[in-house]
């Protein structure tokens, strides 16, 4: 069997959803076999919190570069190549740059990324550099970097692949399709982290597409978005000049898709709320320890939001509900945070009795 036959076995995200995406026979498909990520029932969490219903994790950390960005990047880079682009550019807190670098490498074009100096998790940075991107650390935050790449892409032949590029949103909406396909209905609630607000916008678009299918069985879920408390411009109602949070991926003070996120919140009857760094880290540990799932801190903000609303009694006195939490990125992106927040390995002598002593059997 020729290795190329694998393309026949696995359908890239673009092939699978071709009729829902703005592609033609002329679009070269730049794929790393993204999408089709698992929807994992959170059976232990449901028990632990005595939750009245079902909770699922959509584990987007299982994408090829370890985050949801790959869904949007396959389309954005394919369309860039179709348009004859020789280089892509993005601002990033880390995951966008990792994904852009990988897809640009696959396409054989250049990738330039601007990241906030000293704030990018090592896993993400190592991906961008090993894929051969030109990585520029700026003395500023993500919002500064985004303004710069917007201007650069207007003045130079560089294709912007941040989520202001509508192909990113189009590609990312396919995650909502997958959830509907897996559940054979849409969830009642979707909990999701909010940073630059592209992903909540994309999911809402995806659910709206499914809602239009006949016969009607797909209602619209309530979109429950969560920002980190130190970086919560939508919650506070104004841009945050110096956003701060341990969840560096969502350390954003002026989201590009602010209005679209508010639209998703209001039209769905959901909320955009904030969770503290302590709540994020608690959720990050809980999901790792009780469910065996290692997500990055920004992803855990969706679980932190869910736990906060369960404790607050938000789901009391209603029918059993189906909740999906989006886990946007893999925990291995940022192992340092895990080490700071878990028990350290212990050193023991090389004999059985010392080991038994330490493990307490």
Q: Which residues bind ligand F0G (CB under 6 A)?
A: 67, 92-96, 163, 193-199, 249-250, 296, 298-299, 328-329
Write down the least CB distance from residue 341 to ligand F0G, Å: 17
Which lies closer to ligand F0G via its Cβ, residue 37 or residue 163?
A: 163
Whole-number Å distance between alpha carbons of 65 and 29 = 17
DSSP string, 103-115: HHHHHT-EEEEEE
- Judged by beta carbon, residue 67 or residue 74, the one nearer ligand F0G is 67
Q: How far is the CB of 86 from ligand F0G (least distance, A)?
A: 22
Q: Where are the alpha helices (H) located in the chain, listed in sequence order?
A: 6-9, 13-16, 43-49, 69-82, 95-107, 122-130, 142-155, 166-172, 174-183, 198-211, 233-236, 258-268, 277-291, 297-311, 335-340, 352-359
Shortest Å distance, C-beta 356 to ligand F0G: 41
Handedness of CA 77, 80, 81, 86 (dihedral sign): negative
176 versus 315: smaller Cβ distance to ligand F0G: 176
CA distance 266 to 247: 25
Nearest approach, Cβ of 149 to ligand F0G (angstroms)?
11
At its nearest, how many Å lie between ligand F0G and the CB of residue 196?
3
Select from 248, 329, 250 the least CA-distant residue to 287.
Answer: 329
Choose between 81 and 272: whose C-beta lies nearer to ligand F0G.
272
- Residue placing its CB nearer to ligand F0G in the complex, 187 or 243: 243
Q: Is the Cβ–Cβ distance between 58 and 327 less than 8 Å?
A: yes
- Collect all residues with Cβ–Cβ distance below 8 Å to 217 and sequence separation of at least 6: 184, 185
Cα–Cα distance measured from residue 289 to residue 97, given in angstroms and rounded to the nearest whole number:
29
Please, which residues have CB within 8 angstroms of residue 292's CB and are 6 or more apart in sequence? Answer: none
CA 2 and chain centroid, separation: 34
* C-alpha to C-alpha distance for 285 and 280, rounded to whole angstroms: 9
Q: How far is the CB of 108 from ligand F0G (least distance, A)?
A: 23
Is 300 or 315 the residue whose CB approaches ligand F0G more closely?
A: 300
Residue closer to ligand F0G, measured from CB, 81 or 228: 228
CB of 142 to ligand F0G, least distance (A): 6
């Amino acid at each position: 069997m020729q290795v190329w036959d694998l393309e026949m076995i696995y359908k890239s995200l673009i092939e699978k959803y071709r009729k829902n995406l703005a592609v033609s026979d002329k679009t070269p498909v730049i794929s790393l076999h993204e999408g089709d990520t698992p929807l994992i029932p959170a059976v232990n969490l449901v028990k632990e919190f005595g939750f009245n219903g079902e909770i699922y994790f959509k584990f987007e950390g299982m994408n090829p570069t370890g985050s949801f960005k790959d869904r949007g990047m396959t389309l954005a880079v394919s369309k860039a190549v179709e348009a004859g682009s020789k280089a892509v550019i993005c601002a990033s807190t880390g995951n966008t740059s990792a994904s852009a670098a990988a897809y640009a490498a696959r396409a054989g074009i250049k990738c330039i990324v601007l990241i906030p100096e000293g704030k990018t998790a090592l896993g993400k940075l190592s991906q961008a550099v090993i894929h051969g991107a030109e990585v520029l650390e700026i003395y500023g935050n993500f919002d500064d970097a985004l303004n710069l790449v917007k201007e650069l892409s207007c003045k130079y032949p560089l294709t912007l692949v941040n989520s202001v590029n509508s192909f990113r949103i189009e590609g990312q909406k396919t995650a909502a399709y997958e959830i509907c396909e897996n559940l054979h209905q849409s969830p009642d609630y979707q909990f999701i982290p909010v940073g630059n607000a592209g992903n909540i916008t994309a999911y809402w678009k995806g659910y709206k597409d499914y809602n239009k299918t006949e016969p009607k069985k797909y209602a619209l879920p309530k979109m429950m978005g969560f920002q980190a408390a130190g970086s919560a411009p939508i919650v506070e109602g104004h841009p945050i000049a110096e956003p701060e949070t341990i969840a560096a991926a969502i350390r954003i003070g002026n989201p590009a898709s602010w209005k679209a996120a508010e639209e998703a919140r209001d039209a769905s009857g959901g909320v955009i709320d904030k969770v503290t760094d302590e709540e994020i880290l608690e959720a990050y540990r809980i999901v790792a320890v009780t469910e065996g799932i290692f997500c990055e801190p920004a992803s855990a903000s969706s679980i932190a939001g869910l736990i906060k609303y369960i404790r607050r009694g938000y789901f009391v006195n209603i029918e059993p509900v189906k909740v999906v939490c989006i886990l946007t990125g893999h925990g291995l992106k940022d192992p340092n945070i895990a080490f700071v927040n878990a028990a350290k390995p212990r050193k023991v002598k090389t004999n059985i009795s010392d080991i038994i002593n330490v493990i307490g059997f």
